[in-house]
């Protein structure tokens, strides 16, 4: 449960120059989720309120995350991480929260557990707590300075760090995750200056200020915190993504999922795969997909927000987006199920079948080469190869209704709005523009004539 008296501020206004992308850095994705979405998820699990400092590409950020927009604070000029927090401070104070967490928007691997840990450290009596990591190479990260007894003295940014002044590099770095006691820290926040190599207001200077004033500062060093460092380049993004991918796959294997070719299986952080589900790589299972026990996903598939109930199967090379397969239903190989496709129990879709906003009733089949859009197909119906629902007239979309047990002959065009009654038959090659009553045979094609002697000369 999120803590009522805690607010979180996500710093997400920067451009991310090193990404060489037109997108704001925090919209870069890891396993199909934006970095901002992942950070916000961790923040929301701990803090009752979440603010996001936005600036660069704000409209793109708003479009990608409308659910966070109420908590947006605009930082028009990116004058540094300390300035970003200053800009949000009125709302922090107005929230009445006693503690304020600060997260960098470019740390996609941050977890609720680690954020909670830091909050508890701060609540246990620190005025300021922050999380550190020890790296083999401290690179461009802010260095943590400690005194002879291990007490924290401050943080020095990489650009300003000089071993002659600051002592030998211990490679202990600032992860960028802070927790502040709101009442204790606010005076310091507005004393920041930009007297440094970058000419920016650094949030990290708060540490030195607080230590000098005799406040209690706690640097929490966790062994597993190297994954919490910010992503600044395509290489770091790829590393973070691979690390999260392999953690998720390992966790699923440990829980009892059957996974083949584990190195090429991608499961997003919001997807749920139950023990006893079977997945073969390479494949990607993204978004809020749910794969139940006994369901199978074949190789070369991509599923986004898809639901597979127990015993459902998606065969090789299929693509599903916001589609549901009920128990025992199968799709593919080479099926394309777009948003709103629902295969009821034991229904089947075969190769080169596309479905959109359509329901295939219990046990119904569309085995080959078909487009079903805005269509409802009753239980046990059979849709022949090459059937097309012509659902779009260039302006509007129209519905096709096919009754239970109906049989649609191959190469039929159903010009919507149109319905075919239960147990009706439609002759192959028909262009159906008028509804076919229940139990009737509908046939709409030119009659065949055979002209004797008009064939090829022997």
* Residues assigned a catalytic role: 368
Q: Which residues contact 433 (CB under 8 A, 6 or more apart)?
A: 415, 418, 444
Q: Which of 6, 44, 81, 132 binds ligand UD1 (CB under 6 A)?
A: 81
**Is residue 141 close enough to count as binding ligand UD1 by CB under 6 A?**
yes
Q: Give the tokens for residue 385.
A: 């190869």
**Is residue 108 close enough to count as binding ligand UD1 by CB under 6 A?**
no
Q: Which residue has the tokens 């329901």?
A: 359
Cα-to-chain-centroid distance, residue 349: 27
DSSP assignment of 198-222: T-S--TTHHHHHHHHTT--EEEEE-
Instruction: Pick what 13 binds: Ca ion, ligand UD1, none; C-beta below 5 to 8 Å, kind-dependent.
Output: ligand UD1
Among 113-121, 200-208, 347-355, 404-412, the segment contacting ligand UD1 (CB under 6 A): 200-208
**Is residue 227 close enough to count as binding Ca ion by CB under 5 A?**
no
**Is residue 12 close enough to count as binding ligand UD1 by CB under 6 A?**
yes
Beta carbon nearer to ligand UD1, 89 or 141: 141
Nearest approach, Cβ of residue 26 and ligand UD1 (Å):
6
**Is residue 29 close enough to count as binding ligand UD1 by CB under 6 A?**
no
Say if CB 51 and CB 88 are below 8 A apart.
yes
Among 62-70, 224-232, 250-258, 395-403, the segment contacting ligand UD1 (CB under 6 A): 224-232
Strand, coil or helix: 86: helix
Q: Which of 105, 230, 378, 386 binds Ca ion (CB under 5 A)?
A: 230
Q: Which residues contact 98 (CB under 8 A, 6 or more apart)?
A: 5, 6, 181, 182, 183
Nearest approach, Cβ of residue 23 and ligand UD1 (Å):
12
Q: Which of 8, 13, 110, 383 binds ligand UD1 (CB under 6 A)?
A: 13
Say if CB 400 and CB 376 are below 8 A apart.
yes
Q: Exposure of 458 by Cβ count < 10 A (0-12 exposed, 13-18 middle, 19+ buried)?
A: exposed
Question: How many Å apart are CA 425 and CA 111, to the nearest integer?
Answer: 57
State which of positions 250-289 bind ligand UD1 (CB under 6 A). none
Nearest approach, Cβ of residue 236 and Ca ion (Å):
9
**Is residue 11 close enough to count as binding ligand UD1 by CB under 6 A?**
yes
Query: Residues in contact with Ca ion, total (CB under 5 A)?
Result: 3
**Is residue 8 close enough to count as binding ligand UD1 by CB under 6 A?**
no
Which phi and psi (to 5°) does residue 303 adopt?
Answer: -120, 125
**Is residue 268 close enough to count as binding Ca ion by CB under 5 A?**
no
Q: Give the tokens for residue 332.
A: 């593919």
**Is residue 203 close enough to count as binding ligand UD1 by CB under 6 A?**
yes
Beta carbon nearer to Ca ion, 104 or 304: 104
Question: How many Å apart are CA 356 and CA 78, to the nearest integer?
Answer: 44
Angle between helices 182-189 and 205-212 (to 10 degrees): 110
Query: Residues in contact with ligand UD1, total (CB under 6 A)?
Result: 30
State which of positions 155-174 bind ligand UD1 (CB under 6 A). 155, 157, 173-174
Nearest approach, Cβ of residue 270 and Ca ion (Å):
24
DSSP for residue 392: B
Q: Which residue has the tokens 């199920």?
A: 337
Q: Which residue is nearest to ligand UD1 (CB)?
A: 142
Instruction: Pick what 219 binds: Ca ion, ligand UD1, none; C-beta below 5 to 8 Å, kind-dependent.
Output: none
Strands (E), 296-405: 296-297, 301-304, 307-308, 313-314, 319-321, 324-325, 330-331, 335-337, 342-343, 348-356, 359-360, 365-373, 375-377, 382-383, 388-390, 400-402
**Is residue 14 close enough to count as binding Ca ion by CB under 5 A?**
no
Residues contributing to the site for Ca ion (CB under 5 A): 106, 230, 232
Summarize as ranges the residues that interact with ligand UD1 (CB under 6 A): 11-14, 26, 53, 75, 78-81, 83-84, 104-106, 141-142, 155, 157, 173-176, 202-204, 229-230, 232
């Amino acid at each position: 449960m999120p803590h009522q008296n805690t607010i979180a501020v996500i710093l997400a206004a920067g451009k991310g120059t090193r990404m060489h992308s037109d997108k704001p850095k925090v919209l870069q994705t890891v396993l199909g989720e934006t970095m901002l979405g992942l950070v916000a998820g961790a923040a929301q699990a701990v803090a009752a309120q979440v603010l996001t400092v936005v600036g660069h590409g704000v409209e793109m950020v708003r479009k990608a995350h409308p659910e966070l927009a109420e908590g947006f604070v605009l930082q028009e000029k990116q004058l540094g991480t300390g300035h970003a927090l200053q800009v949000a401070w009125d709302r922090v104070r107005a929230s009445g929260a006693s503690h304020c967490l600060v997260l960098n928007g470019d740390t996609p691997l941050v977890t609720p557990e680690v954020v909670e840990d830091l909050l508890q450290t701060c609540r246990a009596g620190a005025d300021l707590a922050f999380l550190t990591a020890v790296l083999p190479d401290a690179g461009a990260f802010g260095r943590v300075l400690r005194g002879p007894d291990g007490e924290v003295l401050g943080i020095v940014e990489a650009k300003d760090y000089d071993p002659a002044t600051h002592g030998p590099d211990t490679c202990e770095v600032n992860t960028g995750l802070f927790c502040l006691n709101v009442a204790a820290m606010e005076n310091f926040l507005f004393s920041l200056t930009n007297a440094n190599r970058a000419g920016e207001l650094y949030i990290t200077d708060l540490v030195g200020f607080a230590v000098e004033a005799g406040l209690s500062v706690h640097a929490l060093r966790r062994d597993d915190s190297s994954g919490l460092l910010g992503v600044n380049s395509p290489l770091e993004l790829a590393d973070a993504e691979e690390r999260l991918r392999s953690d998720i796959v390992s966790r699923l294997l440990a829980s009892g999922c059957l996974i083949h070719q584990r190195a090429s299986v991608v499961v997003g952080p919001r997807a749920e795969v139950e023990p006893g589900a079977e997945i073969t790589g390479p494949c990607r299972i993204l978004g809020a997909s749910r794969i139940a026990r006994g369901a199978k996903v074949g190789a070369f598939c991509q599923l986004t927000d898809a639901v597979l109930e127990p015993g459902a199967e998606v065969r090789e090379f299929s693509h599903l987006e916001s589609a549901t397969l009920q128990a025992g239903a199968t799709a593919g190989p080479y099926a394309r199920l777009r948003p709103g496709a629902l295969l009821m129990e034991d229904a089947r879709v075969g190769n080169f079948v596309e479905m959109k906003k359509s329901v295939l009733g219990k046990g119904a089949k569309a085995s080959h080469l078909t487009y079903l859009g805005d269509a409802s197909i009753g239980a046990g119906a059979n849709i022949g190869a090459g059937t097309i629902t012509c659902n779009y007239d260039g302006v509007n979309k129209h519905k096709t209704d096919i009754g239970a047990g109906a049989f649609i002959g191959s190469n039929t065009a159903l010009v919507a709005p149109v319905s075919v009654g239960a147990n009706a038959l439609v002759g192959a090659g028909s262009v159906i523009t008028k509804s076919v009553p229940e139990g009737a045979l509908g046939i709409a094609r030119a009659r065949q004539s055979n002209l004797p002697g008009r064939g090829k000369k022997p």
